Structures are given as structure tokens and as C-alpha cells.
Amino acid sequence: MAEGAAQGHDGGGLTGAQMQANLTGAKEARKRAELDAQLLANRIALLKQEEEKAHKKIEETRKRASEIMDLRKQNEQKFAAKENFYKAKWESIRSAQVQNSKAREHAKASRDQTRMGLLEMRHGNAQSTKAQSQLNLQQKKEREQTERHSNQERSAYLKARKEDAKRKLEEDRLAQLDKFREDYEARTAQEEMLRARTDALVARMEKEEMDLITRLQNTQDVQRNAYAQLEEALGQTSHQISSSTRHSGGSGGCAVPGDVIRPRPAA
């Protein structure tokens, strides 16, 4: 009778130890899947943090670029104001030069008139000497005036040279700002490239996450099938034990072997 019970137990296809091993394997597979899912969630969270940092850096770079553009506009306005100032000054100098030319022409006309008067008064020695003295004095004043004009023109020329040097320095500074802008645009392009790579990585991670979810679902299906097989095996074993008890003649027969124990599913 013990042999019949053992044979009935084996007829289910799986022993209690095998079913226990299958259930343990299913639990371990589920735990590994959950661990993989947690690791993936951690990696995705880290990627999101890095993306937020990249966005913050982009905003800071844009803010810095805006400040640089505002500074450049202010410098351009200052430069235009200086240009207008120097232009007005040059026009004033040219106007003064025209007036001085007219004054020299007027002085020349006056000298011609004085010469004519001196020719007319040549016969009078005293008057001629006085006229000559006045002419010499006037010529001296004209020479001094001419020297003053020359000095003023030379000073204006030197000042213009100085202003040209300042203008050149300003142009060099603007060129440096342009170079800084080009460097900024290059760095911005690099940041955009890195962001595109990050987006591609996130897409791959999302696909991997979906694959892992699918695999986890499949593992859960396998686990449910294992439980169903276990329940089916337990039901068949119970039915076979009841049949063996009835065939033994009730209470007068041999007792049910103690080694036939219904296995319990693992938690």
C-alpha cells in the first residue's frame, strides 16, 4: 500500500521538493527583476538631475550673453557720442580756419592799402617813418598771430592723433568682445550637442525600461503558471490519497503512511 501511495504521488509529474525548488526560483527571478527595475529607476533619476543641471547652465549662459549684448550696446552708444563730439569739434576747427583765412586776406588787403598810403606819403620822412613803424608792428602781430594759429593747428593735429589712438583701442576692445561672442557661440553649440546626446541616452533608457517591464510581466506570468501547476499537483495528490484510504478497508486497514505530506507553497 505504501508503494501504491508513492506511485500515486509520483503520478503528478513533480515531487514536493521539485515544486518547492520551482517556486523558490520564481521568487528569486521576481526579486532580481525588482532589483533591476530599482536600479533603472535610480539611473533615470540621475539622468533627470543631470538634465536639470544642463538646463540651468544653458539659462545662465543665455543670461550672461544678454548682459554682454547690453554692455556692447552701451559701449556703442558711448562711442557714437564721442564720434559726434569729435565731428562737431573738427567742424568748429575748420570754421575757425576759414575765419582765420578771411582775416589773413583782410589783413593782406589792409597791408596793400597801407603800402599805397606809404607810397603817397613817401615824400614826408616823418610820416613815412611812422607808417613804416606801424607796418612793422602790424607785420609782427600778424607773424605772432600766424604762429599762434600754427601752434593751434599743430595742437589740434596732435590731439586728433591721440583721439585716433583711443579709437583704435576701442576698436581692439570691440574685436575682443566679438571674439568672446564667437567663443560663447561655440560653447553653446557644444552644450546643445551634449544635450542631444543626453536626449538620445534618455530615449534608450526609456526603451530599456519598457523592455524590463515586459520581462518582469513575463516573469510574473511564469510565476503564476508555477503556482497553478503547484495547486494542480496538490489537488491530484489529495485525490490519490483518498482513493488509497478507501481501498484499504476503512479503519481496519493499514494507516496512511506518515511520509506522505502535502507540501505547502512557499510564501
pLDDT tens-place string over residues 48-63: 898 888 888 888 888 8
Rounded to the nearest angstrom, the gap between the alpha carbon of residue 202 and the centroid of all alpha carbons in its chain is 18
The answer to whether residue 263 sits within a structural domain is no
Nearest to 64 by CA among 196, 190, 175, 183: 183
Q: Examine residue 264 and state whether it is found in any structural domain, yes or no.
A: no
R_g of the chain computed on alpha carbons = 55
Confidence class for position 248, pLDDT limits 50, 70, 90: low
Q: Would 265 be classed as within a structural domain?
A: no
The answer to whether position 101 is within a domain reads yes
Please determine, for residue 165, whether its predicted confidence score (pLDDT) is greater than 90.
yes
Among the listed residues 76, 57, 78, 79, the one whose alpha carbon sits nearest the alpha carbon of residue 68 = 76
pLDDT at 128: 65
Residue 11's φ and ψ, nearest 5 degrees, are -65, -15
User: With 90 as the cut, is the pLDDT of residue 42 above it?
Assistant: yes
For the chain, what is the domain count?
1
- Return the DSSP state at 121: T
**What's the pLDDT at 169?**
93
DSSP letter (8 states) at residue 251: G
Cβ neighbours for 11, distance < 8 A, ≥ 6 positions apart: 236, 240
Above 70 in pLDDT, residue 104? Answer: yes
Mean pLDDT calculated for residue range 150-164: 91
169-228 confidence digits (pLDDT tens): 999 999 999 988 888 888 888 888 888 888 888 888 889 889 989 988 899 889 889 888
> With bands split at pLDDT 50, 70 and 90, how would you rate the model's confidence at 24?
very high
Q: Is 262 inside any structural domain?
A: no
Is the pLDDT reported for residue 250 higher than 70?
A: no
Provide CB contacts within 8 A for 229, sequence distance 6+. Answer: 14, 19, 22
Q: Residue 167: what pLDDT?
A: 92
Residue 261, domain member (yes or no): no
Q: Is residue 258 part of a domain?
A: no
Which residue segment(s) compose the domain that 82 sits in?
A: 2-252
Q: Whole-model pTM? A: 0.29
- Cβ(72)–Cβ(176) below 8 Å: no
Is residue 138 domain-resident?
yes
DSSP string, 167-213: HHHHHHHHHHHHHHHHHHHHHHHHHHHHHHHHHHHHHHHHHHHHHHH
- Cβ-in-10-Å burial (0-12, 13-18, 19+) of 31 comes to exposed
